Structure 1
Amino acid sequence: MSSYQEFAHIYDELMNDIPYDAYVELLDLASAGISGKKVLDIGCGTGLLSAMLAKKGAQVTAIDLSADMLEVAAKRAKSLGLSIDFKDQPMQQLSVDGTYEVAVISIDSLNYVLDRQDVEETFRRVYNALERNGVLLFDVHSLFKMDEIFLEGPFVFDNQRITYIWQTEPGEEEHSIYSELAFFVSQEDGSYKRFDEIHTQRSFAVTDYVDMLDQAGFQIERIFADWEDEPPEEESERIFFQVRK
Protein backbone atom coordinates (compact mmCIF):
# COMPACT_ATOMS: atom_id res chain seq x y z
CA MET A 1 0.00 0.00 0.00
CA SER A 2 1.22 3.47 -0.81
CA SER A 3 2.04 6.12 1.75
CA TYR A 4 -0.92 8.26 0.60
CA GLN A 5 1.32 11.32 0.18
CA GLU A 6 -0.76 12.75 -2.67
CA PHE A 7 -3.92 10.75 -1.96
CA ALA A 8 -4.32 12.27 1.52
CA HIS A 9 -5.01 15.71 0.03
CA ILE A 10 -7.92 14.57 -2.16
CA TYR A 11 -9.28 11.81 0.08
CA ASP A 12 -12.17 13.81 1.57
CA GLU A 13 -13.38 14.89 -1.85
CA LEU A 14 -13.49 11.27 -2.99
CA MET A 15 -15.40 10.15 0.12
CA ASN A 16 -18.34 12.52 -0.18
CA ASP A 17 -20.79 9.62 -0.38
CA ILE A 18 -19.74 8.12 2.97
CA PRO A 19 -22.42 8.91 5.59
CA TYR A 20 -20.07 9.77 8.44
CA ASP A 21 -23.03 11.11 10.43
CA ALA A 22 -24.42 7.57 10.45
CA TYR A 23 -21.25 6.34 12.18
CA VAL A 24 -21.73 9.03 14.82
CA GLU A 25 -25.34 7.98 15.34
CA LEU A 26 -24.39 4.30 15.59
CA LEU A 27 -21.66 5.04 18.14
CA ASP A 28 -23.94 7.37 20.08
CA LEU A 29 -26.54 4.61 20.34
CA ALA A 30 -24.06 1.84 21.16
CA SER A 31 -22.42 3.87 23.95
CA ALA A 32 -25.59 5.38 25.42
CA GLY A 33 -24.35 8.82 24.41
CA ILE A 34 -20.92 9.60 23.00
CA SER A 35 -20.47 12.93 24.81
CA GLY A 36 -17.79 12.73 27.48
CA LYS A 37 -16.72 9.23 26.41
CA LYS A 38 -13.12 8.27 25.64
CA VAL A 39 -13.12 7.15 22.01
CA LEU A 40 -10.46 5.36 19.99
CA ASP A 41 -10.76 6.07 16.25
CA ILE A 42 -8.65 3.39 14.56
CA GLY A 43 -7.61 3.93 10.95
CA CYS A 44 -8.76 7.54 11.23
CA GLY A 45 -7.50 8.69 7.84
CA THR A 46 -7.93 12.45 7.46
CA GLY A 47 -9.76 12.65 10.77
CA LEU A 48 -13.22 13.61 9.55
CA LEU A 49 -14.97 11.12 11.84
CA SER A 50 -12.60 12.00 14.69
CA ALA A 51 -13.58 15.66 14.35
CA MET A 52 -17.29 14.87 14.28
CA LEU A 53 -16.97 12.78 17.43
CA ALA A 54 -14.93 15.48 19.16
CA LYS A 55 -17.58 18.05 18.24
CA LYS A 56 -20.12 15.81 20.00
CA GLY A 57 -18.04 16.04 23.17
CA ALA A 58 -16.02 12.82 22.92
CA GLN A 59 -12.39 12.64 24.05
CA VAL A 60 -10.82 11.24 20.90
CA THR A 61 -7.54 9.44 20.32
CA ALA A 62 -7.05 8.72 16.63
CA ILE A 63 -4.51 6.40 15.04
CA ASP A 64 -3.44 5.77 11.46
CA LEU A 65 -0.40 4.27 9.74
CA SER A 66 -0.10 7.15 7.25
CA ALA A 67 1.77 10.23 8.44
CA ASP A 68 0.36 12.12 5.44
CA MET A 69 -3.21 11.31 6.45
CA LEU A 70 -2.48 12.31 10.03
CA GLU A 71 -0.99 15.62 8.89
CA VAL A 72 -4.27 16.47 7.15
CA ALA A 73 -6.23 15.28 10.20
CA ALA A 74 -4.17 17.40 12.60
CA LYS A 75 -4.66 20.50 10.44
CA ARG A 76 -8.41 19.85 10.40
CA ALA A 77 -8.56 19.53 14.18
CA LYS A 78 -6.51 22.69 14.68
CA SER A 79 -8.66 24.71 12.28
CA LEU A 80 -11.78 23.62 14.19
CA GLY A 81 -10.25 24.26 17.61
CA LEU A 82 -10.59 20.58 18.57
CA SER A 83 -8.29 18.69 20.92
CA ILE A 84 -7.62 15.27 19.38
CA ASP A 85 -4.64 13.05 20.18
CA PHE A 86 -3.22 11.64 16.93
CA LYS A 87 -0.89 8.65 16.87
CA ASP A 88 1.07 7.19 13.94
CA GLN A 89 0.82 3.40 14.19
CA PRO A 90 -0.68 0.37 12.39
CA MET A 91 -3.80 -0.97 14.08
CA GLN A 92 -2.22 -4.40 14.62
CA GLN A 93 0.43 -2.61 16.70
CA LEU A 94 -2.06 -0.49 18.62
CA SER A 95 -0.47 0.87 21.79
CA VAL A 96 -2.27 3.53 23.82
CA ASP A 97 -2.20 4.75 27.40
CA GLY A 98 -5.21 4.11 29.61
CA THR A 99 -8.48 2.55 28.53
CA TYR A 100 -11.38 3.65 26.37
CA GLU A 101 -15.13 3.27 26.45
CA VAL A 102 -15.60 3.19 22.68
CA ALA A 103 -13.53 2.06 19.68
CA VAL A 104 -14.35 2.34 15.99
CA ILE A 105 -12.67 1.04 12.82
CA SER A 106 -14.63 2.70 10.04
CA ILE A 107 -14.80 2.74 6.26
CA ASP A 108 -13.45 -0.79 5.79
CA SER A 109 -10.06 0.22 7.21
CA LEU A 110 -9.74 -3.28 8.69
CA ASN A 111 -9.72 -4.72 5.15
CA TYR A 112 -6.23 -3.28 4.69
CA VAL A 113 -4.98 -5.76 7.32
CA LEU A 114 -4.29 -8.72 5.06
CA ASP A 115 -2.97 -11.42 7.36
CA ARG A 116 -5.48 -13.23 9.55
CA GLN A 117 -3.05 -13.28 12.47
CA ASP A 118 -2.77 -9.49 12.22
CA VAL A 119 -6.56 -9.14 12.28
CA GLU A 120 -6.62 -11.34 15.38
CA GLU A 121 -3.89 -9.23 16.95
CA THR A 122 -5.84 -6.07 16.15
CA PHE A 123 -8.89 -7.44 17.96
CA ARG A 124 -6.76 -8.49 20.96
CA ARG A 125 -5.17 -5.06 21.23
CA VAL A 126 -8.50 -3.24 20.90
CA TYR A 127 -9.98 -5.54 23.54
CA ASN A 128 -7.13 -4.70 25.92
CA ALA A 129 -7.55 -0.98 25.21
CA LEU A 130 -11.24 -1.00 26.15
CA GLU A 131 -12.75 -0.65 29.58
CA ARG A 132 -15.04 -3.40 30.83
CA ASN A 133 -18.33 -3.07 28.92
CA GLY A 134 -16.54 -1.00 26.26
CA VAL A 135 -17.91 -1.26 22.72
CA LEU A 136 -16.20 -1.77 19.35
CA LEU A 137 -17.94 -0.94 16.08
CA PHE A 138 -16.34 -1.76 12.73
CA ASP A 139 -17.31 -2.53 9.15
CA VAL A 140 -15.76 -4.61 6.38
CA HIS A 141 -16.42 -5.39 2.75
CA SER A 142 -18.58 -8.47 2.20
CA LEU A 143 -17.20 -11.43 0.30
CA PHE A 144 -19.74 -10.69 -2.42
CA LYS A 145 -18.25 -7.24 -2.89
CA MET A 146 -14.68 -8.56 -2.82
CA ASP A 147 -15.20 -11.51 -5.12
CA GLU A 148 -17.69 -10.04 -7.58
CA ILE A 149 -18.37 -6.30 -7.48
CA PHE A 150 -14.75 -5.17 -7.22
CA LEU A 151 -13.76 -7.46 -10.08
CA GLU A 152 -16.25 -5.83 -12.46
CA GLY A 153 -13.72 -3.04 -13.10
CA PRO A 154 -12.07 -1.04 -14.47
CA PHE A 155 -13.88 1.84 -12.77
CA VAL A 156 -13.65 5.47 -13.87
CA PHE A 157 -14.43 8.57 -11.80
CA ASP A 158 -14.54 12.20 -12.96
CA ASN A 159 -15.83 15.21 -11.01
CA GLN A 160 -14.19 17.79 -13.30
CA ARG A 161 -11.35 18.41 -10.82
CA ILE A 162 -10.28 14.83 -10.12
CA THR A 163 -10.30 11.90 -12.50
CA TYR A 164 -9.17 8.39 -11.72
CA ILE A 165 -9.00 5.04 -13.48
CA TRP A 166 -9.19 2.09 -11.10
CA GLN A 167 -7.99 -1.33 -12.30
CA THR A 168 -8.68 -4.34 -10.08
CA GLU A 169 -7.70 -7.99 -10.09
CA PRO A 170 -7.82 -10.83 -7.56
CA GLY A 171 -5.12 -10.62 -4.90
CA GLU A 172 -2.83 -13.41 -3.81
CA GLU A 173 -4.92 -14.23 -0.74
CA GLU A 174 -8.43 -15.67 -0.82
CA HIS A 175 -11.10 -12.93 -0.93
CA SER A 176 -8.56 -10.19 -1.63
CA ILE A 177 -8.17 -7.61 -4.39
CA TYR A 178 -5.17 -5.84 -5.86
CA SER A 179 -5.95 -2.35 -7.15
CA GLU A 180 -3.96 0.04 -9.30
CA LEU A 181 -5.32 3.59 -9.43
CA ALA A 182 -4.14 6.39 -11.71
CA PHE A 183 -5.24 9.85 -10.52
CA PHE A 184 -5.31 13.04 -12.56
CA VAL A 185 -5.83 16.23 -10.53
CA SER A 186 -6.41 19.57 -12.27
CA GLN A 187 -3.99 22.39 -11.51
CA GLU A 188 -4.51 26.15 -11.53
CA ASP A 189 -2.79 26.52 -14.90
CA GLY A 190 -5.22 24.08 -16.52
CA SER A 191 -2.82 21.14 -16.59
CA TYR A 192 -3.33 17.85 -14.76
CA LYS A 193 -0.98 16.27 -12.25
CA ARG A 194 -0.83 12.49 -12.27
CA PHE A 195 -0.01 10.20 -9.38
CA ASP A 196 -0.54 6.47 -8.87
CA GLU A 197 -1.71 4.39 -5.93
CA ILE A 198 -1.57 0.66 -5.26
CA HIS A 199 -3.99 -0.77 -2.71
CA THR A 200 -4.58 -4.31 -1.53
CA GLN A 201 -7.54 -5.31 0.61
CA ARG A 202 -8.78 -8.59 2.01
CA SER A 203 -11.95 -9.69 3.76
CA PHE A 204 -13.07 -12.77 5.63
CA ALA A 205 -16.37 -14.58 6.05
CA VAL A 206 -18.71 -13.30 8.75
CA THR A 207 -18.20 -16.57 10.63
CA ASP A 208 -14.42 -16.04 10.55
CA TYR A 209 -14.77 -12.56 12.05
CA VAL A 210 -17.06 -14.00 14.73
CA ASP A 211 -14.45 -16.65 15.57
CA MET A 212 -11.65 -14.07 15.77
CA LEU A 213 -13.74 -11.74 17.94
CA ASP A 214 -14.69 -14.62 20.20
CA GLN A 215 -11.03 -15.62 20.61
CA ALA A 216 -10.21 -12.04 21.61
CA GLY A 217 -12.92 -12.16 24.29
CA PHE A 218 -15.61 -10.00 22.69
CA GLN A 219 -19.33 -10.61 22.97
CA ILE A 220 -21.26 -10.13 19.72
CA GLU A 221 -24.16 -7.72 20.12
CA ARG A 222 -25.29 -7.40 16.54
CA ILE A 223 -24.20 -7.91 12.95
CA PHE A 224 -25.93 -5.89 10.26
CA ALA A 225 -25.40 -4.75 6.69
CA ASP A 226 -25.42 -1.70 4.44
CA TRP A 227 -26.38 0.84 7.11
CA GLU A 228 -29.65 -0.96 7.80
CA ASP A 229 -30.64 -2.72 11.01
CA GLU A 230 -31.00 -5.97 9.09
CA PRO A 231 -28.80 -9.08 8.98
CA PRO A 232 -26.42 -9.55 6.05
CA GLU A 233 -27.80 -11.14 2.90
CA GLU A 234 -26.08 -12.85 -0.02
CA GLU A 235 -25.58 -9.60 -1.93
CA SER A 236 -24.94 -7.27 1.00
CA GLU A 237 -21.87 -5.12 0.40
CA ARG A 238 -20.79 -3.66 3.76
CA ILE A 239 -20.99 -5.72 6.96
CA PHE A 240 -21.07 -4.04 10.38
CA PHE A 241 -20.13 -5.62 13.70
CA GLN A 242 -21.03 -4.20 17.11
CA VAL A 243 -19.26 -6.09 19.89
CA ARG A 244 -18.61 -5.51 23.58
CA LYS A 245 -15.92 -6.37 26.09
Structure 2
Amino acid sequence: MNYEQFAYLYDHLMKDAPYDDWLTFTETKLQTYLPEGNELLDVGCGTGELLIRLTKKGYQTTGVDLSSEMLVVARDKLEANNLQVPLFEQDMRSLDGLGQFDAILTYCDSLNYLTSIEDVQVAFSSFHKSLKDKGLLILDVHSCYKMDQIFAGQLFADDEEEVSYIWKAFEGEFPHSIEHDLTFFVRNEDETYTRYEEFHQQRTYSIDEYKQCLEDAGFSVEEISADFGNKVTETSERIFFVARKK
Protein backbone atom coordinates (compact mmCIF):
# COMPACT_ATOMS: atom_id res chain seq x y z
CA MET A 1 0.00 0.00 0.00
CA ASN A 2 1.53 3.35 -0.96
CA TYR A 3 1.29 6.39 1.26
CA GLU A 4 -1.52 8.08 -0.67
CA GLN A 5 -3.72 5.01 -0.28
CA PHE A 6 -2.82 4.50 3.37
CA ALA A 7 -3.43 8.15 4.28
CA TYR A 8 -6.71 8.17 2.43
CA LEU A 9 -7.84 5.16 4.41
CA TYR A 10 -6.55 6.60 7.69
CA ASP A 11 -8.32 9.90 7.19
CA HIS A 12 -11.48 8.03 6.20
CA LEU A 13 -11.31 5.97 9.39
CA MET A 14 -10.67 9.14 11.42
CA LYS A 15 -13.24 11.33 9.66
CA ASP A 16 -15.27 11.71 12.86
CA ALA A 17 -12.28 12.16 15.17
CA PRO A 18 -12.74 15.08 17.60
CA TYR A 19 -9.88 17.26 16.32
CA ASP A 20 -11.74 20.46 17.23
CA ASP A 21 -12.24 19.15 20.77
CA TRP A 22 -8.50 18.44 21.06
CA LEU A 23 -7.82 21.97 19.85
CA THR A 24 -10.18 23.53 22.40
CA PHE A 25 -8.83 21.32 25.20
CA THR A 26 -5.26 22.30 24.33
CA GLU A 27 -5.99 26.02 24.26
CA THR A 28 -7.91 25.84 27.54
CA LYS A 29 -5.11 24.04 29.35
CA LEU A 30 -2.41 26.31 27.94
CA GLN A 31 -4.37 29.38 29.04
CA THR A 32 -4.82 27.85 32.48
CA TYR A 33 -1.31 26.53 33.14
CA LEU A 34 1.04 28.20 30.65
CA PRO A 35 -0.55 31.34 29.15
CA GLU A 36 2.72 32.46 27.53
CA GLY A 37 3.38 29.07 25.94
CA ASN A 38 3.52 29.21 22.15
CA GLU A 39 6.06 26.61 20.98
CA LEU A 40 4.26 23.28 20.71
CA LEU A 41 5.43 19.79 19.74
CA ASP A 42 2.72 17.43 18.47
CA VAL A 43 3.96 13.87 19.02
CA GLY A 44 2.13 11.33 16.89
CA CYS A 45 0.90 14.07 14.58
CA GLY A 46 -0.33 11.64 11.92
CA THR A 47 -1.59 13.34 8.78
CA GLY A 48 -1.47 16.78 10.42
CA GLU A 49 -5.10 17.55 11.21
CA LEU A 50 -4.39 19.01 14.66
CA LEU A 51 -1.17 20.66 13.49
CA ILE A 52 -3.11 22.61 10.87
CA ARG A 53 -5.62 23.81 13.44
CA LEU A 54 -2.97 24.80 15.97
CA THR A 55 -0.84 26.60 13.40
CA LYS A 56 -3.81 28.56 12.10
CA LYS A 57 -4.41 29.66 15.69
CA GLY A 58 -0.96 31.24 15.74
CA TYR A 59 1.03 28.65 17.65
CA GLN A 60 4.58 27.84 16.59
CA THR A 61 4.26 24.14 15.93
CA THR A 62 6.45 21.13 15.18
CA GLY A 63 5.22 17.66 14.29
CA VAL A 64 6.72 14.24 15.02
CA ASP A 65 5.51 10.86 13.86
CA LEU A 66 7.04 7.41 13.51
CA SER A 67 5.51 6.97 10.04
CA SER A 68 7.29 8.64 7.14
CA GLU A 69 4.21 8.04 4.99
CA MET A 70 2.01 9.97 7.41
CA LEU A 71 4.48 12.83 7.46
CA VAL A 72 4.52 13.09 3.68
CA VAL A 73 0.75 13.44 3.71
CA ALA A 74 0.90 15.93 6.59
CA ARG A 75 3.39 18.02 4.63
CA ASP A 76 1.13 18.02 1.58
CA LYS A 77 -1.81 19.15 3.70
CA LEU A 78 0.21 21.91 5.34
CA GLU A 79 1.43 23.16 1.99
CA ALA A 80 -2.12 23.14 0.66
CA ASN A 81 -3.02 25.42 3.56
CA ASN A 82 0.04 27.65 2.94
CA LEU A 83 1.51 26.66 6.31
CA GLN A 84 5.15 25.87 7.08
CA VAL A 85 5.70 23.46 9.96
CA PRO A 86 8.85 21.42 10.71
CA LEU A 87 8.12 17.70 10.58
CA PHE A 88 10.36 14.93 11.90
CA GLU A 89 10.27 11.16 11.65
CA GLN A 90 11.19 10.01 15.15
CA ASP A 91 10.20 7.57 17.84
CA MET A 92 8.52 9.26 20.82
CA ARG A 93 10.92 7.37 23.08
CA SER A 94 13.84 9.30 21.58
CA LEU A 95 13.23 12.93 20.67
CA ASP A 96 16.85 14.05 20.79
CA GLY A 97 17.87 16.93 18.56
CA LEU A 98 14.53 18.69 18.29
CA GLY A 99 15.25 21.38 20.86
CA GLN A 100 12.93 22.30 23.73
CA PHE A 101 9.30 23.35 23.69
CA ASP A 102 6.81 25.11 25.90
CA ALA A 103 4.39 22.20 25.64
CA ILE A 104 4.26 18.69 24.21
CA LEU A 105 0.97 17.20 23.07
CA THR A 106 0.33 13.54 22.36
CA TYR A 107 -3.28 12.72 21.61
CA CYS A 108 -5.47 10.24 19.78
CA ASP A 109 -4.17 7.36 21.96
CA SER A 110 -0.69 7.58 20.41
CA LEU A 111 0.80 6.42 23.72
CA ASN A 112 -1.32 3.27 23.61
CA TYR A 113 0.92 1.91 20.87
CA LEU A 114 3.62 1.44 23.54
CA THR A 115 2.97 -2.09 24.73
CA SER A 116 5.10 -2.11 27.89
CA ILE A 117 5.06 0.17 30.91
CA GLU A 118 8.84 0.43 30.54
CA ASP A 119 8.39 2.01 27.11
CA VAL A 120 5.87 4.46 28.56
CA GLN A 121 8.44 5.43 31.17
CA VAL A 122 11.11 5.96 28.52
CA ALA A 123 8.72 8.10 26.47
CA PHE A 124 7.86 10.29 29.45
CA SER A 125 11.56 10.79 30.17
CA SER A 126 12.08 11.73 26.51
CA PHE A 127 9.25 14.28 26.74
CA HIS A 128 10.75 15.70 29.93
CA LYS A 129 14.08 16.35 28.18
CA SER A 130 12.32 18.07 25.29
CA LEU A 131 10.42 20.55 27.46
CA LYS A 132 11.56 23.92 28.69
CA ASP A 133 11.65 24.53 32.44
CA LYS A 134 8.07 24.35 33.81
CA GLY A 135 6.84 23.19 30.39
CA LEU A 136 3.62 21.23 30.00
CA LEU A 137 2.90 17.72 28.81
CA ILE A 138 -0.72 17.21 27.74
CA LEU A 139 -1.81 13.73 26.69
CA ASP A 140 -4.68 11.32 26.42
CA VAL A 141 -4.94 7.54 26.53
CA HIS A 142 -7.66 4.93 26.27
CA SER A 143 -9.13 4.00 29.63
CA CYS A 144 -8.99 0.43 30.90
CA TYR A 145 -12.79 0.38 30.69
CA LYS A 146 -12.73 1.25 26.98
CA MET A 147 -10.15 -1.40 26.17
CA ASP A 148 -11.84 -4.14 28.20
CA GLN A 149 -15.53 -3.36 27.76
CA ILE A 150 -15.92 -1.41 24.51
CA PHE A 151 -13.17 -2.65 22.20
CA ALA A 152 -12.63 -6.27 23.25
CA GLY A 153 -14.53 -8.74 21.10
CA GLN A 154 -16.28 -6.07 19.05
CA LEU A 155 -16.91 -5.77 15.34
CA PHE A 156 -17.22 -2.34 13.72
CA ALA A 157 -18.15 -1.79 10.09
CA ASP A 158 -18.89 1.01 7.66
CA ASP A 159 -20.36 0.45 4.21
CA GLU A 160 -19.98 3.39 1.84
CA GLU A 161 -19.75 3.59 -1.92
CA GLU A 162 -16.09 4.64 -2.14
CA VAL A 163 -14.63 2.96 0.94
CA SER A 164 -15.98 0.22 3.19
CA TYR A 165 -14.25 -1.40 6.13
CA ILE A 166 -14.57 -4.17 8.68
CA TRP A 167 -12.80 -3.56 12.00
CA LYS A 168 -12.40 -6.47 14.39
CA ALA A 169 -11.03 -5.87 17.88
CA PHE A 170 -9.66 -8.82 19.83
CA GLU A 171 -8.45 -9.05 23.40
CA GLY A 172 -4.63 -9.02 23.42
CA GLU A 173 -2.21 -11.18 25.36
CA PHE A 174 -1.49 -8.47 27.97
CA PRO A 175 -3.92 -6.94 30.48
CA HIS A 176 -5.92 -4.05 28.96
CA SER A 177 -4.54 -4.71 25.47
CA ILE A 178 -6.32 -4.97 22.12
CA GLU A 179 -5.40 -6.23 18.67
CA HIS A 180 -7.13 -4.36 15.85
CA ASP A 181 -7.63 -6.19 12.56
CA LEU A 182 -8.88 -3.82 9.83
CA THR A 183 -9.90 -4.73 6.30
CA PHE A 184 -10.67 -1.96 3.79
CA PHE A 185 -12.38 -2.26 0.41
CA VAL A 186 -11.58 0.72 -1.81
CA ARG A 187 -13.49 1.39 -5.01
CA ASN A 188 -11.41 1.73 -8.18
CA GLU A 189 -12.21 3.81 -11.26
CA ASP A 190 -13.44 0.71 -13.09
CA GLU A 191 -15.88 0.07 -10.20
CA THR A 192 -13.96 -2.95 -8.93
CA TYR A 193 -12.69 -2.95 -5.36
CA THR A 194 -9.21 -3.42 -3.94
CA ARG A 195 -8.74 -4.98 -0.52
CA TYR A 196 -6.24 -3.59 2.01
CA GLU A 197 -5.43 -4.90 5.47
CA GLU A 198 -4.02 -3.23 8.57
CA PHE A 199 -3.08 -4.72 11.95
CA HIS A 200 -2.52 -2.66 15.10
CA GLN A 201 -1.77 -3.48 18.73
CA GLN A 202 -2.57 -1.19 21.63
CA ARG A 203 -2.32 -1.38 25.38
CA THR A 204 -3.27 0.88 28.24
CA TYR A 205 -2.58 1.06 31.96
CA SER A 206 -4.29 2.27 35.10
CA ILE A 207 -4.43 5.95 35.96
CA ASP A 208 -2.17 5.28 38.95
CA GLU A 209 0.44 3.61 36.72
CA TYR A 210 0.50 6.55 34.31
CA LYS A 211 0.69 8.99 37.21
CA GLN A 212 3.61 7.11 38.77
CA CYS A 213 5.49 7.04 35.45
CA LEU A 214 4.99 10.79 35.05
CA GLU A 215 6.26 11.50 38.55
CA ASP A 216 9.24 9.16 38.09
CA ALA A 217 10.12 11.02 34.88
CA GLY A 218 10.22 14.34 36.72
CA PHE A 219 6.71 15.71 36.23
CA SER A 220 4.17 17.02 38.68
CA VAL A 221 0.66 15.98 37.66
CA GLU A 222 -1.49 19.09 37.55
CA GLU A 223 -4.77 17.57 36.39
CA ILE A 224 -6.42 14.29 35.48
CA SER A 225 -9.74 14.36 33.66
CA ALA A 226 -11.78 12.32 31.22
CA ASP A 227 -13.41 12.80 27.85
CA PHE A 228 -12.26 16.38 27.22
CA GLY A 229 -12.46 17.80 30.72
CA ASN A 230 -15.08 15.77 32.55
CA LYS A 231 -14.72 14.06 35.90
CA VAL A 232 -13.22 10.58 35.71
CA THR A 233 -15.78 7.84 36.27
CA GLU A 234 -15.77 4.05 35.98
CA THR A 235 -17.12 4.32 32.43
CA SER A 236 -14.87 7.13 31.16
CA GLU A 237 -13.38 6.23 27.78
CA ARG A 238 -10.52 8.67 27.29
CA ILE A 239 -8.26 9.80 30.14
CA PHE A 240 -6.41 13.13 29.95
CA PHE A 241 -3.32 14.14 31.91
CA VAL A 242 -1.80 17.60 32.26
CA ALA A 243 1.68 17.44 33.79
CA ARG A 244 4.35 20.08 34.39
CA LYS A 245 8.10 19.61 34.17
CA LYS A 246 9.66 20.14 37.58
TM-score surpassing 0.5?
A: yes
Superposed CA deviations along residues 124-171 of structure 1, whole A, max 9, x for unmatched, are 111111111211111111101111211141221223321111122121
Q: Distance in 1 between matches of 2:109 and 2:129?
A: 21
Q: Say whether the 8 Å CA contact 1:65–1:90 is kept in structure 2.
A: yes
Secondary structure of the equivalent of 2:93? Answer: helix
1:2-151 aligned at under 5 Å gives the runs 6-32=5-31, 37-151=38-152
CA RMSD of aligned residues (A): 1.9
Is the counterpart of residue 232 in structure 1 residue 216 in structure 2?
no
In 2, Cα distance between equivalents of 1:19 and 1:181? 21
Counterpart Cα distance in 1 of 2:2 and 2:119: 19
Secondary structure of the residue that 1:154 maps to in structure 2? Answer: strand
122-131 or 19-28, which deviates more: 19-28
- Who is 1:154 aligned against? 155
Instruction: Map Cα deviations across residues 173-214 of structure 1 (whole Å, 9 max, x no partner).
Output: 211111211111112221111100000000000000000000
Asked if the contact 1:186–1:192 (Cα under 8 Å) also holds between the matched residues in 2, the reply is yes
What's the offset of the Cα at 1:47? 0.7
CA displacement at 1:9 relative to structure 2: 2.1
Aligned counterpart, 2:188 = 187
- Aligned amino acid, residue 126 of structure 2: R
User: Secondary structure, in 3 states, of the residue corresponding to 1:91?
Assistant: coil
- After superposition, the Cα gap between the structure-2 partners of 1:55 and 1:215, relative to the gap in structure 1 and judged at 3 Å, is same
Q: For structure 1, list consecutive stretches of 5 or more residues without a partner in the other structure.
A: none
SS at match of 1:82: coil
Distance of aligned partners of 1:172 and 1:224 in 2 relative to their CA distance in 1, 3 Å threshold: same
Q: 1:171 to 1:3 in 2, by over 3 A?
A: farther
Distance in 1 (alpha carbons) for counterparts of 2:221 and 2:184: 40
Counterparts of 1:151 and 1:160 in 2: how far apart (Å)? 28
The verdict on how the C-alpha distance between 1:48 and 1:34 changes in structure 2, with shifts beyond 3 A counting, is: farther
Give the partner amino acid of 1:209: Y
Label 1:4 to 1:199 Cα distance change in 2 as closer, same or farther (>3 A): farther
Listed one character per residue, the Cα deviations across residues 3-54 of structure 1 (whole Å, up to 9, x for unaligned) are 9774322222221222212212222122228897111000000011011111
- Residue aligning to 1:171: 172
8 Å contact kept, 2:46–2:71: yes
**Deviant stretches of 4+, over 4 Å:** 2-5, 33-36
Write the distance in 2 (CA, Å) between the matches of 1:11 and 1:167. 16
Aligned-pair CA distance for 1:102: 1.1
Q: TM-score scaled by structure 1? A: 0.93
